[in-house]
A and B are shown apart, each in its own frame.
Chain A
Amino acid sequence: MTDDTSGPGRPRPAVRLICTADGDGVRVVSRRRLTKVVPPSEPLEDPESGTAEQWSGFWLEVRDERERVRYRRVVADPLSGEVEVPGGDGSFTRRASARASATFALLVPDLPDADHVSLVRGGAAPTAPDAAFALAESTGEVARLPLHEEAPAGNADPQEGP
């Protein structure tokens, strides 16, 4: 065995976004550029078209300026406004989150032509009606997160990581 990193999961430029979600939407708190293997993409059967109408669930997409999807990965929905609670017998209870905001991290490949990360929810979300986030029941592209630093706007204060 060797630590040779030239296999299918060769470390590549990647970026980790730390995001917060609240009643005003989702914003990037920090971007850290890394060299790291990222999980494999789901199939990109048709990068020219969206998929929100064809699929249900929640996933992230790395898109270029022309909205072409360069990477897609199913992720647990950080905006559902719900949490699951273990029941002790193998079962789970689902509850509306009481917190008015959520902080979460996303790791995506830092592709040369990438412009932004889209958080996409397909189909109607089985969410709690009293969920803390307005985004909890949205479908389609529910958030667009720039991969590159922007001029600060409003209260947003993106910080480029090391």
Chain B
Amino acid sequence: MTTQDGQVVRAVKVIDRGDSAARFDLVVLSEGYTRTEIDSGVFATDVDGLVAAVFAAEPFDEPEIQQAINVWRIDVASTESGADDPPEVRRRPDPTKPEIVDCENGADTTSDTYFDATFCGDGKLRRLLTVNSATVLEVVEDRVPLWDVAMVVVNTTVRGGSGGGGIPVLSKSSDMHEVALHELGHAAFGLADEYEYRVGCAFDGTALDPPGQQDRYPVANGEPMEPNVTIETDRDKVKWRHLIATATDVPTTRNADCAKCDTQVSPVPAGTVGLFDGARYFHCDVYRPVFDCRMRSSNQPFCPVCQERIRETLRFYVPRRKSPVDFTVITSVRNHFGDESASLPGVFVGASKEFTFDCPGIDPNKDAVLTLQALSVDSEKNVFRLNDRVIFGDLPKTTSTAGGWSAQNLLVTPGTLRPRGNVLHVEARTTSGSTSGNIDDFVIDNIVLFYKTS
């Protein structure tokens, strides 16, 4: 029941949204699958199902979020299928108290598996399914060094699992997918548990703490840092106040008996964001955003607050959407065309000049727009060509007002531009279009081309 009981077969990128350095990489490892089961696609099918379930759940169903996530499968073959399942043990250490049943209904079987998976991982609760997390980390580090979150799927349909802080372990029971999502909430997004727990709750059954300890959250501990729980009851200071409707009461519920888990039904429609008493294991005085969320009950969707946290995190892994429009500055100085150097401001150029520029990423089949500022353009016959094509409308005349600049926007028709080596030719002419005689004197500045990219 060690790494001697199998081998790491391969790592497969199941969902490839890009370079792992820039994406959120989720890794799923197999445990308790034989080589035959690996090679026949049993684990691959299980991972496909898990991925489909994750990407069907809000907010992972959003296309932009999905662009952020790579999924890897690490095929690890074990000598035998399944996991150790220790036998049930009945004991009565105190004759005055009821019999204690450890590993209840345990099948009393062993399986030689790579990560040493076992039910009843604490010797008491059969559903506690654990693996050797150190070995899991060794394999993940070796095969997918740029991983973000790893989880293990154990090849058994017996209900079980573990999570909350380390590597999530899942069995192939009916709740596998929803538990995986809950554990992702912890492992990737720092979300707190929203359930109440322990003494006084219907499902405690364990004595992890003395009665009363979990009744009321000790407010002196301070505000929880997790984004989905709070002790703040001032509507204007609640960290998810932007999601609370004005008509919603704050607090929205209070637990009438802090010695017990709250059993009231929701007073508001499902999904309403407010302030609901009982969270983070305590019965009172710490609040959750929605009556029921996946971080409280794994079979519920993530509430808007948890979804917001997930989006805020994964936004950092979403490929940057390239702007559909780019621009290039052709010149940003005053160019004086003509033959009277002292007549106008700017750098005197002479009768003509060619400006060479590039348009990286341009879609040459789309329109472009050339903008410029012009001063004292008096001839309609000046030459204004782009890649030997006349620009529609030529260089427009400007007003004759002294010192008056005009801003011009000229349409560049499809097929005119190219990614590199474009040439804008500007040439001063007379009012009749001649190159001899009194050619026009004008200034052009800030020539910018806006173009669409492919």
Contact = CB atoms under 8 A, between A and B. Distances in A.
A129 B319 CA distance: 46
Interface stretch (A49-57, A62-70, A110-118, A141-149): A49-57
B146 A34 contact: yes
Contacts of A9: 22, 315-318
A152 interface: no
Residue picked from A2, A82, A85, A129, most chain B C-beta under 10 Å: A85
B164 interface: yes
Given A6-B320, A37-B21, A107-B148, A89 B299 contact: yes
A37 B22 contact: yes
Given A7-B319, A75-B190, A103-B137, A53 B222 contact: yes
B214 A90 contact: no
Contacts of A88: 127, 159, 173-175
A83 B163 contact: yes
B222 A54 contact: yes
Chain B, interface size category, equals: 35 or more
Contact of A2 (B166, B209, B223, B319): B319
Interface stretch (B45-53, B75-83, B128-136, B426-434): B128-136
B282 interface: yes
A129 B123 contact: no
A33 to B, nearest CB: 10
Contact of B203 (A37, A87, A98, A102): A87
B298 A93 contact: no
Interface stretch (B193-201, B395-403, B415-423): B193-201
Contacts of B178: 90
A99 B122 CA distance: 8
Contacts of B193: 84, 92
B102 to A, nearest CB: 12
B114 to A, nearest CB: 16
A54 B297 CA distance: 29
A59 B225 contact: yes
Contacts, number: 215
A74 interface: yes
B127 A86 contact: yes
B236 to A, nearest CB: 18
Interface of B is mostly: loop
Interface string B206-240: 10110001100010011111110000000000000
B208 A96 contact: yes
Contact of A1 (B160, B164, B319): B319
A34 B159 CA distance: 37
B123 A90 contact: no
A39 B162 contact: no
A73 B316 CA distance: 14
A87 to B, nearest CB: 7
Given A7-B318, A95-B128, A122 B221 contact: yes
A161 B206 CA distance: 42
Contacts of A87: 127, 203
Interface of A: 1-11, 16, 18, 20, 30, 32, 34-37, 39-40, 42, 51, 53-59, 73-80, 82-99, 102-105, 107, 122-124, 126, 128-129, 161
Given A36-B21, A85-B160, 4 more contacts: A74-B190, A76-B186, A89-B175, A90-B299
20 contacts: A5-B21, A8-B315, A11-B19, A30-B141, A34-B21, A54-B222, A73-B190, A83-B128, A83-B164, A88-B159, A91-B297, A92-B164, A92-B298, A102-B166, A103-B134, A104-B137, A124-B221, A126-B213, A126-B281, A129-B208
